[in-house]
């Protein structure tokens, strides 16, 4: 096995990086892959909370880097899915506790043992961002259909290109079909047109995500959730499958338009 390292990043905070990381990891693990998530947000860890593994942390990423434990010891196995693991961030340190080459070393060591390594990036474009970008094979940029989030996503995509890690792929989170239809929110088409990168997922705005996040039960675990399905579709697309974009709006057809727009634009 040679793992694929996927880094989830955004620039702006609060757009759903951690939620996306957790759900994508769950979806890939449900598809039978061995998945490790790494929380790259040293000092402000929360991937453990979203995955509901908070109370089982003994060692963390900084312990691995500073040789206080082996990687195996810091990998927390998920209770629900056999093949899902988490390497948590340290809470009491900051971003400078690890360097980009530390991250590359940790990922290289894991590569032979797992199928996917999913890294949750901190907000911002400083050290923490560079740490999480360094080992990545695929970079997924999460944004919301808001002007400020799209602006930051654009900046991040530029930085990813500059680091010669591109092209990044795009996830648009918290799309509200009602608002977009009334013209009060950017449509996914608008976002894709501005950012001009490949769209890999559109996630609807869903209050159940808040509830599940608080409970530590990612929505992707719920077979009935539409939002969970949207994350599972991203997991499928990551594996190279072609999955049509979900119809978010009962009447609307803009999702198919987005898919069409992208097909024209990207070749």
Binding site for other proteins (CB under 8 A): 96, 99-101, 125, 127, 130, 134, 147, 151-152, 154-155, 157-159, 161-164, 194, 196
Alpha helix positions (H), 31-143: 47-50, 61-65, 71-74, 100-111, 127-133
Our CB check for other proteins shows the closer of 61 and 134 to be 134
Nearest distance, CB of residue 167 and other proteins, angstroms? 12
Q: Got the DSSP string for 149-186?
A: HHHHHHHHHHHHHHTT----EEEEEEE-HHHHHTTSS-
Nearest distance, CB of residue 165 and other proteins, angstroms? 10
Our CB check for other proteins shows the closer of 77 and 155 to be 155
Our CB check for other proteins shows the closer of 111 and 130 to be 130
Q: What is the C-alpha to C-alpha distance for residues 236 and 229, in angstroms, rounded to an integer?
A: 10
**In what side-by-side order are the strands of the sheet with 116-120?**
76-77, 84-87, 35-39, 116-120, 4-9, 138-143, 169-175, 198-204
Nearest distance, CB of residue 127 and other proteins, angstroms? 7
Our CB check for other proteins shows the closer of 29 and 97 to be 97
Nearest distance, CB of residue 130 and other proteins, angstroms? 7
């Amino acid at each position: 096995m040679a793992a694929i390292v996927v880094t989830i990043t955004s620039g702006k905070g609060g757009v759903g990086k951690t939620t996306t990381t957790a759900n994508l990891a769950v979806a890939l693990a449900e598809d039978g892959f061995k998945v490790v998530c790494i929380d790259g947000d040293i000092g402000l860890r929360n991937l453990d909370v979203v995955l509901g593994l908070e109370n089982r942390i003994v060692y963390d990423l900084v312990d691995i880097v500073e040789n206080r434990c082996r990687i195996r010891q810091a990998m927390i196995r998920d209770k629900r899915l056999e093949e899902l693991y988490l390497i948590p961030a340290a809470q009491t340190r900051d971003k400078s506790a690890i360097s980009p080459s530390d991250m590359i070393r940790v990922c290289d060591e894991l590569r032979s043992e797992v199928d996917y390594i999913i890294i949750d990036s901190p907000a911002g474009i400083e050290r923490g961002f560079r740490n999480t970008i360094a080992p990545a094979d695929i970079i997924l940029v999460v944004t919301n259909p808001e002007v400020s989030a799209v602006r930051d996503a654009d900046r991040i995509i530029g930085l990813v290109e500059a680091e010669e890690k591109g092209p990044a792929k795009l996830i648009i989170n918290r799309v509200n079909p009602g608002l977009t239809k009334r013209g009060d929110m950017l449509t996914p088409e608008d976002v894709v047109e501005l950012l001009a990168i490949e769209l890999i997922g559109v996630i609807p705005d869903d209050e159940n995500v808040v509830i599940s996040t608080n409970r530590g039960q990612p929505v992707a675990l719920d077979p009935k959730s539409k939002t969970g399905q949207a994350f599972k579709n991203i997991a499928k697309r990551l594996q190279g499958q072609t999955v049509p974009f979900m119809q978010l709006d009962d009447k609307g057809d803009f999702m198919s338009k987005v898919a069409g727009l992208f097909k024209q634009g990207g070749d």
